[in-house]
């Protein structure tokens, strides 16, 4: 494994899912659902969600990270996919809508135009009544990682254009202790479709 990838894998795996997502654990379904983990890295979150009984599709475009995840979490019910936002072409027509979509430390790698396209694609993949969890990085970015500045407010506004409702926002310090880095936890819900009422009109 490339040394940089090895370092990233080590960072991902040494921090527990429960620590990273401690502010939003109550928003994650307890009954088994279909989960899409976009930008899954080495599968730390995908594995934790699988352990909770969920059926997980893990999307990771980096071959080395994906291979590490498949090796580290081979015992878990995770379907690995080589794909990336904003298109996620390989998921078209292959999966029913997901009841939970997770994007942890992913959004800041997309340009503004890509984020607009990605929101449309996520809306297609998210079941009515389903939830979307996002974790956004705020603070200095490491060199050569291609990270962009993305605000929580702009993200909330962008999801609102698709009718996806913001239900939670919180902030926490970086669990790896990186100076100046904080993380914004956002959760959203896609409203269920309106119930159809029976046609009770009479004809004369």
| Per CATH, domain 3-189 is 3.40.1280.10 | no
Per-residue confidence band for 204, with pLDDT thresholds at 50, 70 and 90: very low
Q: What is the mean pLDDT of residues 165-173?
A: 96
What's the pLDDT score for residue 4?
60
Per-residue confidence band for 196, with pLDDT thresholds at 50, 70 and 90: low
CB atoms within 10 A of CB 204: 2
Domain ranges of the chain: 3-189
As a whole number of angstroms, the distance between CA 40 and CA 46 comes to 7
| Cβ proximity of 115 and 87 under 8 Å | no
Per-residue confidence band for 203, with pLDDT thresholds at 50, 70 and 90: very low
As a whole number of angstroms, the distance between CA 119 and CA 178 comes to 29
- pTM attached to this predicted model: 0.88
Handedness of CA 170, 183, 24, 108 (dihedral sign): positive
Summarize pLDDT for 95-154 with one digit per residue, the tens: 789 999 999 999 999 999 999 999 999 999 999 999 999 999 887 776 666 788 899 999
Summarize pLDDT for 36-88 with one digit per residue, the tens: 999 999 999 999 999 999 999 999 999 999 999 999 999 999 999 999 999 99
């Amino acid at each position: 494994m490339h040394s940089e990838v090895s370092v990233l894998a080590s960072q991902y795996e040494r921090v527990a899912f429960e620590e990273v997502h401690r502010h939003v654990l109550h928003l994650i379904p307890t009954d088994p659902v279909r989960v899409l983990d976009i930008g899954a890295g080495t599968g730390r979150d995908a594995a934790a969600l699988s352990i909770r009984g969920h059926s997980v599709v893990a999307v990771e475009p980096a071959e080395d990270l994906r291979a590490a995840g498949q090796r580290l979490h081979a015992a878990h019910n995770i379907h690995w996919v080589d794909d990336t936002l904003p298109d996620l072409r390989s998921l078209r027509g292959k999966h029913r809508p997901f009841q939970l979509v997770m994007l942890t430390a992913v959004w800041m790698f997309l340009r503004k135009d890509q984020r607009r396209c990605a929101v449309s694609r996520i809306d297609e993949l998210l079941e009515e009544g389903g939830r979307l969890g996002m974790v956004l990085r705020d603070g200095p970015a490491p060199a050569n990682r291609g990270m962009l500045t993305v605000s929580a407010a702009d993200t909330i506004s962008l999801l609102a254009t698709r009718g996806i409702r913001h239900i939670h926002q919180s902030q926490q310090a970086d669990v790896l202790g990186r100076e100046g880095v904080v993380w914004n936890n956002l959760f959203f819900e896609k409203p269920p479709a309106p119930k159809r009422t029976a046609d009770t009109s009479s004809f004369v």
